[in-house]
Amino acid sequence: MYRSEHPNPQFRRENWRNLNGTWQFDFDFGASGRDRRFYENPVLTKKIEVPFCPESRLSGIGYTDFMPAVWYRRGFSLSASELNGRVLLHFGAVDYYAYVYVNGKAAGSHVGGYTAFCLDITALCHVGENDLVVCAEDDTRKKIPCGKQSKIYPSHDCDYTRSTGIWQTVWLEFVPRTYIERFRLYPDILRQVLRIEAVTNGSGILSALARYENKEVGTASVTTPGGRCALEIPLSELHLWEVGKGRLYDLTLSFGEDKVFSYFGMRSVRMDGMKFLLNEKSVFQRLVLDQGYYPDGIYTAPTEEDLYKDIELSMAVGFNGARLHQKIFEPLFLYHCDRLGYLVWGEYPSWGIDYTYPEALYTMLPEWMEEIERDFNHPAIIGWCPFNETREYNERKQWEDVLRTAYRVTKEMDRTRPCIDTSGYIHVETDIFDLHDYDQDPIAYRDRYLPLLSDTPSFYDRFAPRQIWRGEPVFISEYGGIQWSIHPDDKAWGYGEAPKTEEEFKARFKGLADAIMDNGAIFAVCYTQLYDIEQEQNGLYTYDRKPKFQDMDFFRRVFDRPARIEK
């Protein structure tokens, strides 16, 4: 069993080969394999199913202790025609330091456990059988970005089983000598055009063709000497990307013999006072916390169906989007968000780094920039957030310029979306003032935020004066977390005292939601969480995605009314 689908529908070529499946594998507990030149002819004694991490059951390994380094090996065959152009080797994600060797020679490396990277391996390959070796070094105890992966041996509290090494698809692409490297899409709904900014390797004519439901709706082309170029497609039909209605256009880019298949959505997002506007209409974001964990695959969904089922489970209980929390989700998940009209926030797995030193920027900023570049074209992403819950770390205060710089770099890279500097606390420079509030009393919850509606608005802030609300739009980006365990044990936990009956759970859930939706100064809310993860049992579904309540439609009914800010 392995993931055989193309991993990125937004940048797809016909001439590609999936390298998932059974690889040779072994541990390197001394992390000395590179010094011992394992890459020249490693003897690996185990087998692993890629792209599942070795901690997972689906990998066939299931080893959950620390692995400072691991090694992978497999062969792949190339024909003479495939070597006529360029051979590109892609990795969806390798946690954390990746070193890649082809036929015993270094092909390249990558730092960062969550973003994709590509290596041109043409010069290292030959016709016939070739040898691919990967070394991954990873230790969450060394202050690297690791999100919710446990920094001690066991899974505990809200830190879960670790994920080491390859955990997303590995694939080959065969491209001509001149080809399309990357592109950005800028939908303009007012002018009814799509602007494309592309980078090509080589000179030629770049052509673009847009279709909607198999009907041609626009074309454009531009001659480029190579490098950056831009063109606009006037669209004969405008179909807006909206909540619950993806309405995606197909896009084909051609450059000489190279052809890339993609898609786009026509929509705009912006903040207007306290409101979030989607296509110039106020939309209340009814979000849920999704952490992207799976019982059998840990970081990796067993199948593509498991990816979009999580979105469908969320929408079934009334949520119109999610915070993709402390993890960079794979492009295929984002495709289904795009397809289903599901609002999501792109976040970075900042837990694990020490943000009290300026050097933290060197740890996170390059990969954060890679994430923005990789995911820029997804219409479902309506905002960015590089940090989560920053304040003290080992009794030292956060280094505020780390957050300020990350925010400013984000805005330079993407001026089309809002950015939250750090979710929950402590804000330094931000477009949105969000907070985490797990108070379980609906009446106290309502009263706390009523001053936002007064003639001279004021704001409850348990971190004042460390942070200052300057009238930014308000987002309660974590709340609820009500514990409800189907099979409780000593380690199971949620926020506050667990309700004793389903009726008490539902009354608390509705009371908290009503308190926020009836407050016309709050534009978004995010409930913790969609499903249980290991010992954290505060989801609406169990870890294996089973409903916890007989009447799951109750939750949809709670959200199925206009919030005050939408009126």
Residue of 363, 351, 286 whose CA lies nearest to 325: 351
> Is the CB of residue 207 less than 8 Å from the CB of residue 253?
yes
Q: Mean pLDDT, to the nearest integer, of 446-469? A: 93
> Is the CB of residue 268 less than 8 Å from the CB of residue 278?
yes
Q: Where are the domains of the chain?
A: 21-168, 179-267, 279-566
Quick one: pLDDT band at residue 412, thresholds 50, 70, 90? Answer: very high
Tokens 């179909």 appear where?
Answer: 239
Percent of the chain with pLDDT over 70: 100
Domain 179-267 sits in CATH 2.102.10.10: no
Q: Mean pLDDT, to the nearest integer, of 469-493? A: 92
27 pLDDT above the threshold of 90: yes
- Tell me, yes or no, if the two domains 21-168 and 179-267 fold the same way: no
489 pLDDT above the threshold of 80: no
Partnered with residue 72 across adjacent β-strands are 25, 134
Q: Mean pLDDT, to the nearest integer, of 408-417? A: 98
Q: Three-state SS for 384?
A: strand
> Is the CB of residue 214 less than 8 Å from the CB of residue 248?
no
Quick one: pLDDT band at residue 1, thresholds 50, 70, 90? Answer: low
Q: Mean pLDDT, to the nearest integer, of 60-67? A: 97
pLDDT in the model for residue 487: 79
Q: Mean pLDDT, to the nearest integer, of 468-483? A: 96
78-92, 251-265, 391-405: least confident range: 391-405
503 pLDDT above the threshold of 80: yes
Partnered with residue 221 across adjacent β-strands are 207
Report the alpha-carbon distance of residue 322 to residue 345 in Å, rounded.
Answer: 7
Report the alpha-carbon distance of residue 145 to residue 386 in Å, rounded.
Answer: 11
Report the alpha-carbon distance of residue 477 to residue 64 in Å, rounded.
Answer: 31
Report the alpha-carbon distance of residue 295 to residue 504 in Å, rounded.
Answer: 29
- The amino acid present at 437, given as its one-letter code, is D
The torsion defined by the Cα of 278, 279, 282 and 283, in degrees rounded to 10, comes to: -40
pLDDT tens-place string over residues 164-177: 999 999 999 999 99
pLDDT in the model for residue 395: 87
pLDDT in the model for residue 416: 98
DSSP letter for 244, please. T
* Distance of alpha carbon 531 from the chain centroid: 17
Sequence-distant (6+) residues with CB within 8 A of 211 are 217, 249, 250, 251, 252
Fold of 21-168: Jelly Rolls (2.60.120)
pLDDT in the model for residue 2: 82
Burial of 538 (0-12, 13-18, 19+ CB in 10 A): buried
450 pLDDT above the threshold of 80: yes
Q: From residue 202, how far is each of 121, 228, 292 by CA, in Å?
A: 18, 10, 39
Residue of 435, 447, 449, 432 whose CA lies nearest to 521: 449
What would you measure as the largest C-alpha separation in the chain, in angstroms? 75
> Is the CB of residue 142 less than 8 Å from the CB of residue 52?
no
Question: What is the 3-state secondary structure of 15-63?
Answer: CEEECCEEEEEEECCCCCCCCCCHHHCCCCCEEEEECCCCCCCCCCCCC
Q: Mean pLDDT, to the nearest integer, of 552-556? A: 98
Report the alpha-carbon distance of residue 363 to residue 260 in Å, rounded.
Answer: 33
pLDDT in the model for residue 270: 98
Report the alpha-carbon distance of residue 479 to residue 527 in Å, rounded.
Answer: 5
Report the alpha-carbon distance of residue 134 to residue 186 in Å, rounded.
Answer: 36
Report the alpha-carbon distance of residue 533 to residue 209 in Å, rounded.
Answer: 43
What is the homologous superfamily of the domain 279-566 according to CATH?
Glycosidases (3.20.20.80)
pTM over 0.95: yes
Tokens 């978004």 appear where?
Answer: 524
Hey, how many other C-beta atoms are within 10 angstroms of the C-beta on 365?
17
529 pLDDT above the threshold of 90: yes
pLDDT tens-place string over residues 393-411: 888 999 999 999 999 999 9
DSSP string, 445-503: HHHHHGGGGSSS-----TTTTTS---S--EEEEEEE-B---SS--TT-B-BSSPPSSHH
Tokens 């001509």 appear where?
Answer: 176
> Is the CB of residue 531 less than 8 Å from the CB of residue 314?
no
